[in-house]
Amino acid sequence: MTVATKERKLTIARAMAEAIAQEMRVDERVFVMGEDIGPLGGVFGNTRGLHEEFGSERVRDTPISETAFMGAAVGAASDGMRPIVELMFVDFFGVCFDAIYNLMAKNTYFSGGEVQVPVVLMTSTGGGYSDAGQHSQCLHATFAHLPGMKVVAPSNAYDAKGLMTAAIRDNNPVIFMFHKALQGMGWLGTEKDAIVHVPEESYEVPIGKAAVVREGNDLTIVGITSGVHHGLKAARQLAERGISAEVIDLRALVPLDRATVIESVRKTGRLIVVDEDYQSYGVSSEIICSVAEQGVPLKAAPQRVAYPDIPIPFTPPMEQWALPNADKIVAAYELMEKHS
């Protein structure tokens, strides 16, 4: 006998807000601050309802002063609070990175572990809607490169809630990257597959554990956030040709679950990495290198489908041409086969 479970589909935005609210209800130390996260509910909807429930002491609109409030998050966390702080667009990190990578990421180390900095920094990533190069970047590698911060980035609402809960409970700084096109805000052209069933009760998705979101035997496609959805679409296209692709959602960049990727590539012998961040010195090269270092036998040279090394252009023909998509993954597979 099967028990029908009622589907409760949420957007990533709703899932994030739910996780935050649930943690705020049980832990007085948790609070949120950032620009427009109060009565407005966040430009990307991820703090909707929080101000109404918790008030302006614990859900604090800040001045447009990222340097000050990122620094303040570090100071508050070191003093026993658990701030969730929003950097509205990841592109804005340039005005406040000192507080992030020199303080948030290093104070624990420089105090020999005596000082804990349990900050969740949530920030929007990604393009595809003609916002040009100061509001469309992903910058996965920029954050993941610098030691001392965990970095997570969900591709769907289930993971978003579980990763947010885990991030808030973590005693280390966690960068929580959410991709605008997956957020469930209609005006950003939502990816429907990101809206999935989310249990009402609180739960954690462990930070640093990748998920095999589609099993296959001929090819491994590794992605994060939007890259996972492109990978799944490409896998469906390839399946029509009888090619069985496995798709891995990294879910976190730090710690990076290399084992899951390596295990998959040992099985398939083929690897394509999809990343909306800039190609050079990025996530895609780290993944390919991690496989190469282990001497995993390969049937073809690995490929990457990433953003070209250019500032993100405004005009739709240019931007859409530059973005990763399923067709590019299929083309990369064809190239692999041609050369193998």
Partner 1 sequence: MKPSRDQKIWMYEQMHTSRYFEECIEKIYMEGKSPAFNMAKGPIPGEMHLSNGQEPCAVGVCAHLSADDIVTSTHRPHHVAIAKGVDLNRMTAEIFGKKTGLSGGRGGHMHIFDAKVNFSCSGIIAQGMGPAVGAALSRHMQNKPGVAVAFLGEGAANQGAFHESLNLAAVWKLPVIFVVEDNAWGISVAKSASTAIEHNDARAAAYGIPGHFIPGNDPLAIFDIAGEAIERARRGEGPTLIEIETYRLAGHFMGDAEGYRPKGEKEALFARDPIPKMRQQLLDDEDWSDAQDQELVARTHARVDAAIQFARDSEYPAPEEAMEKVFV
Q: Which of 35, 86, 135, 140 is catalytic?
A: 135
- We find the least distance from the C-beta atom of residue 83 to partner 1, in angstroms, to be 8
Neighbours of 295 (CB within 10 A): 8
* Residue with Cβ nearer partner 1 (70 or 90): 70
66 is a catalytic site residue: yes
HEC string of the chain equals: CCCCCCCCEECHHHHHHHHHHHHHHHCCCEEEEECCCCCCCCCCCCCCCHHHHHHHHHEEECCCCHHHHHHHHHHHHHCCCEEEEEEEEHHHHHHCHHHHHHHHCCHHHHCCCCCCCCCEEEEEECCCCCCCCCCCCCCHHHHHHCCCCEEECCCCHHHHHHHHHHHHHCCCCEEEEEEHHHCCCHHHCCCHHHCEECCCCCCCCCCCCCEEEECCCCEEEEECCHHHHHHHHHHHHHHHCCCCEEEEECCEEECCCHHHHHHHHHHHCCEEEEEEEECCCCHHHHHHHHHHHCCCCCCCCCEEEEECCCCCCCCHHHHHHHCCCHHHHHHHHHHHHHHC
CB of 252 to partner 1, least distance (A): 13
CB of residue 27 to partner 1, shortest distance in Å: 12
Tell me the C-alpha distance between 124 and 106, whole Å: 23
Provide the binding-site residues for partner 1, judged by CB under 8 A: 28-29, 31, 57-58, 62-63, 65, 67-81, 83, 95, 98-99, 102-103, 106-116, 147-148, 150, 171-172
Closer to partner 1 by Cβ: residue 52 or 98: 98
Distance from CA of residue 234 to its chain's centroid? 20
What's the min distance (Å) between Cβ of 82 and partner 1? 10
Nearer to partner 1, 9 or 29 (CB): 29
Between 75 and 269, whose beta carbon lies closer to partner 1? 75
* Catalytic-role residue among 18, 66, 86, 276: 66
Closest distance to partner 1 from the beta carbon of 116 (Å): 6
Closer CB to partner 1, 22 or 78, in the complex: 78
Q: How far is the CB of 288 from partner 1 (least distance, A)?
A: 24
Q: Is 197 in the active site? A: no
Residue placing its CB nearer to partner 1 in the complex, 100 or 228:
100
Residue for token digits 């990604």?
Answer: 126
Catalytic positions: 66, 135
